A and B are shown apart, each in its own frame.
Chain A
Amino acid sequence: MLEITGLECRYGKVSAVRGLSMVVNQGELVTLIGANGAGKSTTLKAISGLLPPAAGRIVFDGQDISDASAQRILSLGIAHCPEGRRIFPYMSVQENLDMGCYLRRDADGIEADRRRVFERFPILEGRRRQTAGTLSGGEQQMLAIGRALMSRPKLVLFDEPSLGLAPNLVETTFEIIAEIRAEGVTVLMVEQNAYAALEICDRAYLLESGAVALQGTGAELKDIPHVREAYLGG
């Protein structure tokens, strides 16, 4: 479904990704793990068109999207959940969801998808007019995920979904991501919490200084001594 070959990304003169190649197949949950600065988030930005790659090819569903605009990539079916602040704090819950389908104009489809988000997260429906910044951390996370689903994506890119969340919410977040995958949406996730990520993923790539160092299923990677020492805490 997604095939990346020889990807290179630079911020000015500093190169963050150097010749990365990877594949995500339809229906998989793939995760990228690695230390800070390994190029995980940069890779996601390159896929979603927020950072045009300096070299390499990104092919999605048979189309070359290396130089496509962020709008075009989104409308092809790739949604990006960036890291950090995940919501528009001064918009209402409903307005946040509407931003998620900003590029769509099919009012009926949007309404149906909004219903589905509210069915998945009933608590959001009760708060649809509430200012999003006043939601709890967990609710904001649900809202962020709901918003990503509003563009009706085939592939969702999650950037550090567990960052800054309380431990019990981390678990809930991973459960929700697993659920989304179970419904047929392909997921590519960047995660610092390598242990949890390897638990739920089908396959994983370990990035080191901008390229793939190791790859395999979650269980395989967990058994590799280097991974255990450096990323799983022994």
Chain B
Amino acid sequence: MRHAVTAAWVVFLFSIPLWMTDLYILHILISAGIFTIAAISLNLLLGYTGQLSLGHVAFFGIGAYTSALVSLGFDLELTDSYTFVFAPWPVWIAFIAGIAAAGLFGWLIGKIAFKVRGAYFVIVTISFAEVVRLISLNWVDLTEGPMALNNIPPFGVAIPGLWEQTFYQKLPNYYLILVVAIVCYIVVRRLVRSRAGRAMIGLRENEALASSVGVDVTRYLVLATVISAAMAGAAGGLYTHYIRIVDPDIFLFIYTVTMVIMVVTGGKGTTAGPVVGGLLFGILPEVLREFASPEVQWVIYGVFMIAVVFFLPQGIVPAVTSWWKARFAAPEGGLGTPEGAR
């Protein structure tokens, strides 16, 4: 039953471009997909280890900038006589480099997280994102600052000498993002149901107890941060090669807030939560634009958000799950909130 539902969803998502020819809607779905990947990555930290990273956009942006720079190449005038020249690399390698760079910074932040928790972790992550934003704004030699990096090459696939396609169109980008999102979803799902996942949930629920039963708290915090950051970096790379321009505004705090909203309203600590939240809050503003003036749009958006938090404090997914269980399933328990919201 569960498998059938999952399969139906996947088929549906893959079929969308076949019957949906409106490119604008496809674009909305692509952006929502990119944000969903970021939300999935944030959920691993926020939902499973209980650490609120309010600088998550930094990892997204680092992935975006690294991937853009590696694929474009850059010159750095290190001294008067010596200029470091970095030749452009293929986009896929740039994408991997972006993931690796984001993961590396995730490792650093994870190490710091061992020392500072709670409110201090929040401050560290916010500051980190702000520092990265200021660097991207001011290191004009490297990042072009507010002039932005332009003409970033898109993804592409090729069989050498025979056939090639560069992803200028929306269609291949849609499929690329869908596949990456599914991979990220599966990675998180497998991770949280493994021993490592139990350790993370344990340290979220009761850190003193978790360490007393032998969970290596630092190790799993760092692991979660690295995976989460790398995934956010992947989302950033997808973004940068789709939009094909990246500027320091990518690091704006509002994007982190959007990710947090997606995770919390969807249901933090559930695998499906960030997907539901990501799609909902990725698509909702665009839908509202159809029939409401800009001022009213944001009012509706805000009211909807407050309503969700007020009536479904655990998030949409846990609420639907428990309603479904109460209605249809035998009272077996265990499925609704085992890895679920607090």
Contacts and interface: CB of A to CB of B under 8 A. Distances in A.
Interface in B186-212: 195, 198-199, 201-202, 205-206, 208-212
Nearest to A45: B212
A85 B209 contact: yes
Given A88-B202, A90-B337, A90-B342, A80 B332 contact: no
Interface string A99-138: 1101100000000000000000000000001110000000
Given A102-B195, A102-B199, A131 B213 contact: no
B338 interface: yes
B204 to A, nearest CB: 9
A167 B155 CA distance: 68
A91 to B, nearest CB: 7
Contacts of A85: 206, 208-209
A41 to B, nearest CB: 11
Nearest to A94: B334
A15 interface: no
Nearest to A88: B205
A75 interface: yes
B214 interface: yes
A50 B209 CA distance: 10
30 contacts: A50-B208, A50-B211, A70-B211, A71-B216, A74-B213, A74-B214, A75-B214, A80-B212, A86-B209, A87-B206, A87-B209, A88-B202, A88-B205, A89-B205, A90-B201, A90-B205, A90-B340, A90-B342, A91-B338, A92-B333, A92-B334, A92-B338, A95-B198, A98-B198, A99-B210, A102-B198, A129-B332, A130-B333, A147-B213, A151-B214
Nearest to B216: A71
Size category of the B interface is 20 to 34
Nearest to B198: A99
A234 interface: no
B215 interface: yes
A82 B206 CA distance: 11
A148 to B, nearest CB: 9
Contacts of A81: 212
A91 B201 CA distance: 9
Interface of B is mostly: loop
Contacts of B337: 90, 131
A192 interface: no
Pick from A50, A102, A130 the residue with the most CB of B within 10 Å. A102
Given A92-B333, A129-B334, 16 more contacts: A50-B208, A70-B212, A70-B214, A74-B214, A80-B212, A84-B208, A87-B209, A89-B205, A91-B205, A99-B202, A99-B213, A102-B199, A102-B213, A131-B333, A131-B337, A131-B338
Given A70-B211, A151-B213, A95 B338 contact: yes
Interface in B259-291: none
Nearest to B341: A90
Contacts of B195: 102
A103 B208 CA distance: 16
A22 B129 CA distance: 51
Nearest to B334: A129
A48 interface: yes
A129 B333 contact: yes
Contacts of A80: 212
B206 A88 contact: yes
Interface string A33-54: 0000000000000001010000
Contacts of B332: 129
B134 to A, nearest CB: 33
The 10 closest A-B pairs by CB, nearest first: A129-B334, A88-B205, A129-B333, A74-B214, A103-B214, A80-B212, A71-B214, A82-B212, A102-B213, A82-B208
A147 to B, nearest CB: 7
Nearest to B340: A90
Contact of B212 (A50, A69, A89): A50
Max chain B Cβ within 10 angstroms of own Cβ: one of A71, A90, A92, A131: A90
B209 A102 contact: no
A60 to B, nearest CB: 15
A82 B334 contact: no
B193 to A, nearest CB: 11
Interface string A166-180: 000000000000000
Contacts of B198: 95, 98-99, 102
A135 to B, nearest CB: 13
A69 B217 CA distance: 12
A120 B267 CA distance: 37
B194 to A, nearest CB: 12
A130 B212 CA distance: 23
Contacts of B333: 92, 129-131
A81 B211 CA distance: 11
Interface string B312-342: 0000000000000000000011100110111
A70 B341 CA distance: 28
A71 B215 CA distance: 7
A50 B76 CA distance: 48
